[in-house]
Amino acid sequence: MTKQDWTEKYSKKVLTARKAIRKIRRGTRIFLGTGCGVPYHLVQELANHADQMADNEIVHLLTLGDTPSADPQFQTQFRHNSFFISENMREAVTEGRADYTPIMLSDIPRLFRSGKMPVDVAMIQVSPPDEHGYCSLGISVDITKSGAESADIVIAQVNERMPITLGDSFMNVRDIDYLVPFTEPLREFQAAEVDETIDLIGSYVARLIENESTLELGIGALPQAVCNNLMESGVRDLGIHTEMFSDSLIPLIEEGVVTCKKKTLHRGKVIASFAMGSEKLYDYVHDNPLFEFRPSEYVNDPYIIGENNKMVAINSALEVDLTGQVCADSIGHKFYSGIGGQVDFIRGASRSPDGKAIICMQSTAMNGKISRIVPRLSEGAGVVTTRGDVDIIITEFGLASLHGKTIRERVLSLIAIAHPKFRNELLEAAKAMKYVHEDQVPFLSQGTYFASEYETQETFKGPDGPITVHFRLIRPDDTDRIKELFYDLSEESIFFRFLTPLRSLRRQTLQEFYNVDQDRDISIVAVIKPDEEEEAERIIGAGRYLLNRSTNEAEFALLVQDEYQGRGVGTFLLNHLMRIAKSKGVEAFVAYVHPRNQPMIRFLHKTGKIIESRLSMADEEYVFKLNL
């Protein structure tokens, strides 16, 4: 239908912006469409008629760019109330000239429909009506649809540049009171550049994403980094169920990484509620049957989200305390952003079979001056994701899996991914709060415990068939897993490893496993990851070497659970340690073995790397030197 056709057909509803704004009475609540779908022509005209307004509340989820009605000069005419504080609203909220309503995104439509927050006027932006009178809300369905459906008066800017998006995204002209024809470019959103730190965080997220996962992505530098890393990870048949997305999604679709073919809900469809990006993105979603835009009360419903298998929710935080409480909407008393859909998707992903709920943040703020992982949240900081909901926290130093973990385990996991210069300061604070043992050893590593160059995997013949064993650096939060390994060992294995018949594992001995700097001294564990039979990650072997700086030779020791001995795990672990040591310039390995430990002696001879061996009668041990 041409512009002339629809303007003639609905001529009784067609007004100029000036005349439409005059329909708004003083003291009314005005709902404003979201993000790049904000009807800017109407917004500008509203500001132009500020002298006719008084005590008008403007309610919205997220706005971009110039918002003149938020200027101090209009304080008596307009007061903004934001569900999510964007950059252009931050100053007004901080100065008390605007309000912030903290609420989960999925709950906002009910706020409108129940009458708790009645909407007098909705100002929205739509595509031109089709021959049946239906206009598309385009890139902004979210809470815009419920806001418009709940309003007494609906004023729609009809923009020929608004793409027609499919799904539950249409309004009929009969439900719109005034149509304002005005075509202008849609606002575009450009994410911040992906720097090295953000890219590293994105790489850790990508490691957790399996084939056939369904993702919540969002917008900004972090989702871009995740998408960049997914392009290189080799995963396939990903699905999308997200409140919003941007241009970063397009390459994943075009390269066949995102197909939505394996989704368990809305198979073959990208499900979202709004989009923010470039004109290219808006052209891409126009009349594209791959995309279905639906309202927030559906997209953000945790029960709906949880129906997607392998749902991966990716969100961000400003601060996390050592118990796992996540602050995402304020910096102390100062409100910074909002709750948004974080809790909706965290809880939805936790209900999903094999789902993961991920919170990402850089380890420091203020140019590295302060840690974002803190002993306790800043005064005034609000908890968005509770310690009961939290699952995985990621920084550029790795990831901490917190769900179902004790406070002690959480503390060690979170300190391990804090910036190295703050780790022992955090440890001392944790000791003062009795979160960890007083004799907990300091963190020696000055880097990451998740270095990919030390990680590998191999398949072995297990007790009940083939098993895949992962090899990685040991971490301080492996304490309980090492303890489980110890108590699964036979008395003979314990004696030969510790050269004494231990009945229990002292904490000091336990800490020696991971009390290494992971640079000159290296400690590696062999891990079986969770599957349908394994409920938790399990360590079945451990190996380490300690460098003698004066000789440039390293003493090494291995430990493999009895049922996995003789299956090649120990050989692979030793070779892995040797490769690492050789890359660091270590000249040789040295092993001290009890004379009765014949299995270990045979094992060392089978390596073919022994260059020297001798029996020390004084110490009752064999000394073997191995070439790397």
Residues forming the active site: 243
Tokens of 345: 């998707």
Q: Report the distance separating Cα 116 and Cα 99, nearest Å.
A: 16
Q: Report the distance separating Cα 373 and Cα 88, nearest Å.
A: 28
Sequence length of the chain is 628
CA 351 → CA 89, 310, 389, distances in Å? 34, 10, 11
Handedness of CA 280, 285, 286, 288 (dihedral sign): positive
- Give 67-109 as a DSSP string: -GGGSGGGTTTEEEEESS--HHHHHHHHTTSSEE----GGGHH
Tokens of 307: 């129906």
The strand ranges marked E within 423-532 are: 456-462, 465-473, 522-528
> How many C-beta atoms lie closer than 10 Å to residue 564's C-beta?
21
Tokens of 40: 């800017």
Query: Which helix (H) or strand (E) covers residue 373, if one does?
Result: strand 373-374
- Give 132-197 as a DSSP string: TSEEE-TTB-TTHHHHHHH-SEEEEEE-TTS----BS-EEEGGG-SEEEE---PPP---PPP--HH
**Pairing mode of beta strands 588-593, 538-548:** unpaired
Query: In angstroms, how far is CA 256 from the centroid of its own chain?
Result: 22
Tokens of 584: 């660091």
| Residue 526 contacts residue 575 (beta carbons within 8 Å) | no
Break the chain down into helix, strand, coil percent, rounded to 5. Answer: 30, 25, 45
Q: Report the distance separating Cα 226 and Cα 370, nearest Å.
A: 25
How many CA atoms are closer than 13 Å to the CA of 66, on its beta-carbon side?
A: 9
